[in-house]
Copies of this chain bind each other. A is one copy, B any other.
Amino acid sequence: MKKQILIDMDGVLADIYMQLVNYEERATGKKLDLKSLEGITESKAFSTYRECLSQKGFFEDAPVMDGSVEALEYLNEKHRVLIVSAATEYPNSLIEKQNWLAKNFPFISWRQIVFCGVKDFIRGDAMIDDHLRHLESFSGQTKILYAQPHNVGSISDSVVRADWREIVSMF
């Protein structure tokens, strides 16, 4: 049976860490090592975090997460996929995020895109997100924490931590 799968953008489809490392290096001259950032929130790990997110082009030029295009093509064929991104806190990111999706995931239609502030009102069977708080407020059955440096060590009984290679094998 077709499942409704909610998929986050930042840190799941978009490789926000790679973008933050690049922006931080450009601003401070210091290249951070991802290994040293494990278990630390992004806003603490990157001294320029807030400024980065407000910079023009930050979201539109973000690198694509390894394996995400093939995984999403597969899931989109087999299930009903909705892209759900917390974006309204940074209104300028809205058009950048939609342009980014159109460029990198052209098989995703505007009907499948949701930009919001919180995510607790969205129905679905599965949610893939790199932030535990969104998974904890999700009412569906399958909760997948997309493996990212900040969520190393984040655990919860009802949540599985995985990357795209592992996720594809679950559906």
Contact = CB atoms under 8 A, between A and B. Distances in A.
Nearest to A90: B110
Contact of A88 (B91, B113, B118, B124): B113
Contacts of A121: 4, 6, 82, 114, 122-124
B117 A115 contact: no
Given A95-B95, A123-B139, A139-B123, A116 B118 contact: no
A7 to B, nearest CB: 13
Query: Chain A: interface secondary structure?
Result: mixed
Total copies of this chain within the assembly: 2
A117 B110 CA distance: 6
Interface in A90-122: 91-92, 94-95, 98-99, 109-118, 121-122
B99 A95 contact: no
Contacts of A91: 94-95, 98-99, 110
